[in-house]
Structure 1
């Protein structure tokens, strides 16, 4: 049999002796990667969407020149669980202030009571140049001192930048192990159900698990060499991608291998044919995802760039293991690996007249009605996406808020809404009065000079509205407009300004990356299927599936889970994953349909056959991928929970509705026009005449 040129080296690796060598060499190379990988560059801004060249980032860099930048303030929030603070409570806090001074880098200030005495705060300056581990230890010491010196009947909590950073590190402790354990357990269970064999599932699980660890080592090496930061969120998403996509490719390959075992006595020949036939579809689908993830390198947000580069590298490792190592690992044990359902040569293939074949024939009898109902249903689901609100404040990033977030919320309740998150304006000392006047014109409730040196001053602007609200965002934009006229060199930073810049960056990234990803998908489909109509139809259905998943996800978030908004990066990440991964199933279905058309010249009959033979394995792959993405809920960040739910729902829609019902109906309606301008029917007739 003649194989595509690209597949011939992969096909040639399968053989009685070569398979042993391939497996041994794969284990050695993976072991070297795991052993020699250097420490990665860590990211301190988990899930940050802030571009490095934004005004707020430039303001932070400028303010870092002030002498006080060597200090990072931790804020101790004191309250009474059963009421307001009394005069006696406030007096007793003087002793607490002296006790906390032992942990401070500079002078401890406070206590400062709220007007209603519902809380008081003490500011404790900590060193600002510590590593994550050192900062965590300092914050723990501060909290231990607070617990020992806190007067009876009072509650003390630590917030501020150092505390938030320390809590972020704590919530990710052990999260990668939990994620790996849960993901592997889900994959193992679904593989066991799929194959109904006591040991077959062990081979793909072992190969994909090794691919995941190798991909992590490759990501760490890339991070160390390139300086691209990685954190628990990025590595968690990459593990899910490797396990989900890698297992999908394994399912497709093993299904084709089992089909070929019913045609060939030699298991090596059966696997060579399986690799040669399934390989192009696997390469096309994985290439789509890799290119789509790599396009995130065009994003302004560092978090998205990190996911793009590391995820693309992880997927490349996964597909390499699926097409190079897995085929040899599968043929070593022999046919008995499929026990008790061992495929034999000449055995009837039950898929060709099973439930998926009946579904295909049923769709073929009423394709127009099926297509109309499916599209209307997807549009109805997508309509819920019209109300999506994007943008989470720092305190909304966690499913289970740590102490620093709880204290921040308590601080916001006791003091003016913008007190805990002032705008930080970097300006020249001569412009301080001008900046102060401009801030008051736009509605600031308090303006104060926080530090100064020869050519630089920091002006803190307290807003009337809390961080993350539309009022605070609008006031920040108004202040920038005012300062552009009266103090053009001034830079507005701080948490609210960072939120403004992050929202602008997210809008820009969507405008740039959505067309790029759609272009990648269209080009891959055009190259693979050689059909303009097929590429447009499949891309359109996948986008419609994404919009429907976004609508369902937002309904669940708003009405069931009580989320006020989705993270800024979620719509784009979900789009990348769903369009790139979702088109996989259309690729698997239509490449098989094209293969059947070349044999029969019957487009309508070919889609029924393609659905029959791929329906079971693609459905298993879709359910598995959706389940694996749902495992992202193990990690503590809300952005990961939201991505997991939307992508999981979208994959199920793709698997159970779009690929199984809508696409077959559309192909049946279009008939041979689906393949335009190529003519696989003509190729069939030419072969028949020449034969």
Structure 2
């Protein structure tokens, strides 16, 4: 291993490493097959769910080749007059000319006389081929020659699908540009150099591009579907983690340049010292992400697969390509603050972080107590929190499909545009319809087509799509059918709202399975790296406290400032994964250095010196990765915005409070017991 490190950091051999990297990356870009990501996320429910079963069975029905656009006309709360009614009737007839069922487009007027609705059946394959053009054509047809003040809105499957596609249109490029700008600005501020930031940014940028290509090539063979949201999070994580590792390595390299004249020797020491921490930190993140492969939801599995590959590539570039690039560029890369060799230089000299460590050392108990109070106060924001957003709440702003849904909810049955599908054996179809009609919350039951011994029933529910009342009605239907006797017990319930309910159920199952696995992985890695059983417990508790505090603060912001009624389904699990994994990064950076210093100076002084050496870089890394995750908010998708806000708050809280105050205070309180059963300070000189 030492020979490999010497080759990477040698002044001449570093050139060979860079040339080999350029050739290898070029070959991979040209030879690996490309794969286009999906435009929008799919549900990805397990095959055992009722929704998945219904979808498979519906594939044999004639209507499986159909989709629909729902057009709503309204005067924004004013009553429709006779001219409006005539114009709407004419427009609905025109829409029928492009529909596969012209008579079905006849408009239905609301009882309050304020809105009208038309369902336009369309051929599914043709519509999906260019959903944007289809939506544009329908909007134009529905809005043509309308009286002043009367407006047409598009919603339903085509409307929502079009708005989601528009939300992700150009998402990769927009997210990448904003991420690069944010990282560049923060690196310039951190390094205080007009040139140094270029090298880490280029290295991480190449790693991000390569990870995208590798994930795209491996996704299809492994049966993974990578959509735009997964690709966006992957890119953000690679940039965040890659620049984190670069900050740690460059900080240690700069420190060593003050101690030795040879930049190759300085980089060799930096890689040997910081390399294990970087590898352990990245390995923890990658292994935590891989636990998502055990998830029920395919979207979670895709995210774990893509991000784990991205993090591994980021680690390799941080430990191989970045050291070689820095050695090749020489000391002048740090201009104008070039680190010069100083005989007897001591990186542990007094500074802000040293003084902070001394203050915490003198009064660790009050620091821990005050921190517990603050974290506990933030966690109270979780009171009244709920999980699960309706389809209309998935996108930021007020896209047309959401506006139309609000009009439908106000003037028609709330569940009119979100039908629930019941599949019953032909022999039990009548009984299934009667049972559905008698179920509280079911507004209407309409018998439909039959295929392969099954009859379809279309149910309209009285409550709003995605609401707790709707989920309760679906659960009641499923329970009633399951408790029935004979063929009726084989009845299945699916549809849009059933899909949302099954997503919520699967997401909870994923949390129950994945979160303990992540904690076990984190504990094991920390125990092996620190050779301690006490330290991992205390560090994990601090990370969990940060997680709940960030959730509480975020929930208050979402409900009171941003108008989000609940957390999106997968947000809690993904926020936990990123916060715990990234929190462990900073734990490892600090405590591995503290253990190294404890050998020479004892536990208490070792922690002060570790804080002095890593405080600035951890803070810089935390601010950078918080800003990078906040970039997810540039996409008009509530789930990504929520993840960005939670991780941003959590990382800032972790780096500015927990890692700089709470963890050192816990070490000062426990003393040498922090490392039990090992004793790194046993040979340290006693003062």
What TM-score, normalized to structure 2? 0.96
Residue 472 of structure 1 corresponds to 470
Residue 513 of structure 1 corresponds to 514
For the pair 1:605 / 2:601, whether they are aligned, the reply is no
Asked if the contact 1:118/1:414 (under 8 Å) is kept, the reply is: yes
In structure 2, C-alpha distance between the alignment counterparts of 1:53 and 1:31, rounded to whole Å: 43
In structure 2, C-alpha distance between the alignment counterparts of 1:130 and 1:678, rounded to whole Å: 67
Secondary structure of 1:681's aligned partner: coil
Residue 445 of structure 1 corresponds to 443
Deviation at 1:404, TM superposition (A): 2.1
Asked if the contact 1:74/1:162 (under 8 Å) is kept, the reply is: yes
Deviation at 1:272, TM superposition (A): 0.9
Residue 245 of structure 1 corresponds to 241
Deviation at 1:41, TM superposition (A): 6.0
Asked if the contact 1:212/1:242 (under 8 Å) is kept, the reply is: yes
Asked if the contact 1:352/1:613 (under 8 Å) is kept, the reply is: no
Deviation at 1:45, TM superposition (A): 5.5
Are residues 634 and 134 of structure 1, via their aligned partners in 2, closer, same or farther at CA, if it must alter by over 3 Å? Answer: same
Say which of 363, 378, 397 aligns to 1:381. 378
Secondary structure of 1:501's aligned partner: helix
Asked if the contact 1:41/1:227 (under 8 Å) is kept, the reply is: no
Asked if the contact 2:255/2:347 (under 8 Å) is kept, the reply is: no
Asked if the contact 1:11/1:276 (under 8 Å) is kept, the reply is: no
Residue 219 of structure 2 corresponds to 223
Unmatched tracts of structure 1, length 5 or more: none
Residue 287 of structure 1 corresponds to 283
Residue 390 of structure 2 corresponds to 393
In structure 2, C-alpha distance between the alignment counterparts of 1:82 and 1:99, rounded to whole Å: 25
Say which of 421, 424, 431 aligns to 2:421. 424
What do the CA deviations read for 1:644-665 (whole angstroms, capped 9, x no partner)? 0010110011101111000001
In structure 2, C-alpha distance between the alignment counterparts of 1:413 and 1:571, rounded to whole Å: 31
Are residues 661 and 148 of structure 1, via their aligned partners in 2, closer, same or farther at CA, if it must alter by over 3 Å? Answer: same
Deviation at 1:682, TM superposition (A): 3.6
Residue 620 of structure 2 corresponds to 620
Residue 631 of structure 1 corresponds to 631
Residue 154 of structure 1 corresponds to 150
In structure 2, C-alpha distance between the alignment counterparts of 1:551 and 1:683, rounded to whole Å: 44
Residue 103 of structure 1 corresponds to 98
Secondary structure of 2:421's aligned partner: strand
Secondary structure of 2:287's aligned partner: helix
Residue 401 of structure 2 corresponds to 404
Q: CA RMSD in A?
A: 1.9
What do the CA deviations read for 1:526-545 (whole angstroms, capped 9, x no partner)? 11011001111111111111
What aligned pairs does 1:65-80 form with structure 2 within 5 A after superposition?
65-80=60-75
Secondary structure of 1:13's aligned partner: helix
Asked if the contact 1:37/1:217 (under 8 Å) is kept, the reply is: yes
Asked if the contact 1:40/1:229 (under 8 Å) is kept, the reply is: no
In structure 2, C-alpha distance between the alignment counterparts of 1:29 and 1:134, rounded to whole Å: 37
Which stretch has the larger CA shift, 147-156 or 296-305? 147-156
Deviation at 1:488, TM superposition (A): 1.6
Residue 566 of structure 2 corresponds to 565
Asked if the contact 1:39/1:224 (under 8 Å) is kept, the reply is: no
Secondary structure of 1:445's aligned partner: strand
Residue 581 of structure 1 corresponds to 582
Asked if the contact 2:348/2:609 (under 8 Å) is kept, the reply is: no
In structure 1, C-alpha distance between the alignment counterparts of 2:201 and 2:255, rounded to whole Å: 21
Asked if the contact 1:66/1:456 (under 8 Å) is kept, the reply is: no
Asked if the contact 2:96/2:105 (under 8 Å) is kept, the reply is: no
In structure 2, C-alpha distance between the alignment counterparts of 1:89 and 1:25, rounded to whole Å: 70
Residue 550 of structure 1 corresponds to 551
- How many residue pairs get aligned? The number is 680
Asked if the contact 2:91/2:144 (under 8 Å) is kept, the reply is: no
In structure 1, C-alpha distance between the alignment counterparts of 2:659 and 2:200, rounded to whole Å: 25
In structure 2, C-alpha distance between the alignment counterparts of 1:243 and 1:577, rounded to whole Å: 14
Asked if the contact 1:12/1:272 (under 8 Å) is kept, the reply is: no
Residue 522 of structure 1 corresponds to 523
Are residues 218 and 554 of structure 1, via their aligned partners in 2, closer, same or farther at CA, if it must alter by over 3 Å? Answer: same
Which stretch has the larger CA shift, 487-496 or 269-278? 487-496
Which stretch has the larger CA shift, 122-131 or 506-515? 122-131
Which stretch has the larger CA shift, 464-473 or 355-364? 464-473
Residue 63 of structure 1 corresponds to 58
Deviation at 1:131, TM superposition (A): 7.5
For the pair 1:12 / 2:1, whether they are aligned, the reply is no
What do the CA deviations read for 1:388-436 (whole angstroms, capped 9, x no partner)? 2110011100112322222222222221122222211111222221111
Residue 176 of structure 1 corresponds to 172
Residue 25 of structure 2 corresponds to 30
What do the CA deviations read for 1:469-524 (whole angstroms, capped 9, x no partner)? 22111111111111112312111011221122122112211111111000010011
Asked if the contact 2:95/2:105 (under 8 Å) is kept, the reply is: no
In structure 2, C-alpha distance between the alignment counterparts of 1:344 and 1:100, rounded to whole Å: 76
In structure 2, C-alpha distance between the alignment counterparts of 1:624 and 1:349, rounded to whole Å: 27
In structure 2, C-alpha distance between the alignment counterparts of 1:351 and 1:185, rounded to whole Å: 33
Secondary structure of 2:585's aligned partner: helix
In structure 1, C-alpha distance between the alignment counterparts of 2:50 and 2:235, rounded to whole Å: 34
Asked if the contact 1:71/1:125 (under 8 Å) is kept, the reply is: yes
Residue 453 of structure 2 corresponds to 455
Say which of 293, 299, 323 aligns to 1:303. 299
Secondary structure of 2:173's aligned partner: helix
Which stretch has the larger CA shift, 331-340 or 604-613? 331-340
Are residues 82 and 496 of structure 1, via their aligned partners in 2, closer, same or farther at CA, if it must alter by over 3 Å? Answer: closer
In structure 2, C-alpha distance between the alignment counterparts of 1:25 and 1:256, rounded to whole Å: 25
Are residues 367 and 47 of structure 1, via their aligned partners in 2, closer, same or farther at CA, if it must alter by over 3 Å? Answer: farther
Are residues 604 and 47 of structure 1, via their aligned partners in 2, closer, same or farther at CA, if it must alter by over 3 Å? Answer: farther
In structure 1, C-alpha distance between the alignment counterparts of 2:561 and 2:348, rounded to whole Å: 39
Asked if the contact 1:79/1:120 (under 8 Å) is kept, the reply is: yes
What aligned pairs does 1:631-670 form with structure 2 within 5 A after superposition?
631-670=631-670
What do the CA deviations read for 1:590-634 (whole angstroms, capped 9, x no partner)? 00011111223x100000000001111110000001010111101
Deviation at 1:109, TM superposition (A): 2.2
Unmatched tracts of structure 2, length 5 or more: none
In structure 2, C-alpha distance between the alignment counterparts of 1:579 and 1:654, rounded to whole Å: 10
Deviation at 1:548, TM superposition (A): 0.7
What do the CA deviations read for 1:349-390 (whole angstroms, capped 9, x no partner)? 566311000000000001111112112221221222242211
Deviation at 1:324, TM superposition (A): 0.8
Secondary structure of 2:428's aligned partner: helix
Asked if the contact 2:256/2:267 (under 8 Å) is kept, the reply is: yes
In structure 1, C-alpha distance between the alignment counterparts of 2:198 and 2:56, rounded to whole Å: 52
